[in-house]
Amino acid sequence: MKIAFLSTFYPYRGGIAQFNANLYEELAKNHQVKAFTFSRQYPSLLFPGKTQYVTERDNAKVVESIPILDSINPFSYYKAAKKIAALEPDVVIMRYWVSYLAPSLGTVARLLRKRGIKVVTILDNVIPHERKFFDKPFAKWFLKHSNGCIAMTGSVLNDMLSLAPDKPYILQPHPPYDHFGMKMDKAEACERLGIANDGEMKTLLFFGLIRDYKGLDLLIEAMRHLDKSYRLIIAGESYGSFDKYQEQLQNIIAEDPSAADRIFVFNRYIDDDEVPAFFSASDLCVLPYKSATQSGITAISLHFEIPVVATRTGGLEETIEEPGIGILADEISTEGVVRAVESYFNHPDKSIFVENIRKLKEIMSWTSFAKAMTDFCEKL
């Protein structure tokens, strides 16, 4: 099969670019694949982080791609469609994760379908976490121009079906990320992070971009209620002000000065070569999300075989509780997070979570994802 893959690729950074590189690598084993990417993904003024691009510390897979799509230049939409169509692909694969990209990607999809070329979209989010009034109409318009969709959680699938009930689809789980390297010795990981390797401490990890919907405030507040055998690592770049979290932390430390030795903050983008240290130093990854569809952080936790505690929202239930790789909070609140964390550490046999992770990793491979996707494309 001849496949054109239009999405974000190297030199762009982030989980979606990493996912695309892994999938491209797998598809290229059995198919003719050409990658196309953005000449401009987001204008600098609209990008909340420090950089959209990989650095020398990122273990990014370098995929040779053609930068053809400028998200804010409509003329590029037509040029991109023309260039992709000239390849005469059997199918064009796209990714959809934010409504801002609906006009550019949707226009390319519409033009390609007019030429008789199939377009299949992998959905990360249909309706974003931080919602705007135009999210649903933009997503509905975009979905109209896809022949079929691949959802990775039931939550995302339900959002899609609410806007495009007759759209062909498959449900295929997000494979574990595997490009970060091996898990490290815990003592070495702690040394690299500059924290004590205390075997008596229970180490919680909040990892990834910090945004309001991810509920970091709930987890910080939970540290006020967990006993002194718990410590917390916060690792990720804040999209927006970190001030409210810093104030929370200062209040906790003012009440209990020992908390300063149990809470570690790395408020910055975590380069790929640092990721193994953060997960290897931790006992439990905590996702206290207030809303969610799915989480790429779960895929990293699977790779490093770190169990997960999360709130019961979006697709987290089916990706965590059903396969038994962690525990879900009984409510989206500080109290719910505290109970779930304590429940994990009080579990009579925590090894069962790691056993379940290993079983799941055997099933959720990039090979399985790629085959399910290409089989779906051929049947459309």
Segments forming the whole domain that contains residue 245: 186-363
Of 125-134, 207-216, 244-253, 367-376, the range with the lowest mean pLDDT is 125-134
Query: What confidence tier does 348 reach under pLDDT thresholds 50, 70, 90?
Result: very high
Average pLDDT in the 182-205 region? Answer: 94
Residue 299 has pLDDT above 80, yes or no: yes
Tell me the pLDDT of the chain averaged across its residues: 92
Extract long-range pairs of 25-33: CB within 8 Å, 24+ residues apart: 25/61, 25/63, 25/366, 26/366, 26/367, 26/369, 26/370, 27/3, 27/370, 27/374, 30/370, 30/374, 31/1, 31/2, 31/3, 31/374, 32/1, 32/2, 32/3, 33/3, 33/4, 33/5
Residues 111 and 190 in one domain: no
Average pLDDT in the 45-73 region? Answer: 78
Residues 145 and 252 in one domain: no
Phi, psi (deg, nearest 5) at residue 213: -70, -15
* Beta-carbon contacts of residue 184 (< 8 Å; ≥ 6 apart): 192, 276, 277, 280
Q: Which pair of structure tokens corresponds to residue 58?
A: 């990122």
Of 312, 335, 237, 331, the closest CA to residue 15 belongs to: 237
Of all residues in the chain, the percent with pLDDT exceeding 70 is 96
Residues 110 and 212 in one domain: no
The rounded distance, in Å, linking the Cα atoms of 147 and 149 is: 7
Residues 219 and 302 in one domain: yes
pTM, 2 dp: 0.78
Residues 351 and 373 in one domain: no
Neighbouring CB atoms inside 10 A of 38's CB total: 23
- Confidence (pLDDT) at 313: 86
Domain of 85, CATH number, reads 3.40.50.11930
Residues 37 and 121 in one domain: yes
Average pLDDT in the 194-210 region? Answer: 93
The rounded distance, in Å, linking the Cα atoms of 23 and 57 is: 22
- Confidence (pLDDT) at 200: 87
Residues 170 and 226 in one domain: no
The rounded distance, in Å, linking the Cα atoms of 220 and 241 is: 16
- Confidence (pLDDT) at 44: 72
Average pLDDT in the 66-95 region? Answer: 97
- Confidence (pLDDT) at 126: 94
Residue 72 has pLDDT above 80, yes or no: yes
Query: What confidence tier does 177 reach under pLDDT thresholds 50, 70, 90?
Result: confident
Query: What confidence tier does 171 reach under pLDDT thresholds 50, 70, 90?
Result: very high
Residue 72, classed as helix, strand or coil, is: coil
Residue 152 has pLDDT above 90, yes or no: yes
Decide if 98 is inside a domain: yes
Give the chain's domain count: 2
Decide if 10 is inside a domain: yes
Residue 55 has pLDDT above 70, yes or no: no
CA–CA distances in Å: residue 329 to residues 288, 317, 336: 8, 10, 5
The rounded distance, in Å, linking the Cα atoms of 108 and 4 is: 12
Query: What confidence tier does 46 reach under pLDDT thresholds 50, 70, 90?
Result: low
Higher confidence at residue 271 or residue 148? 148
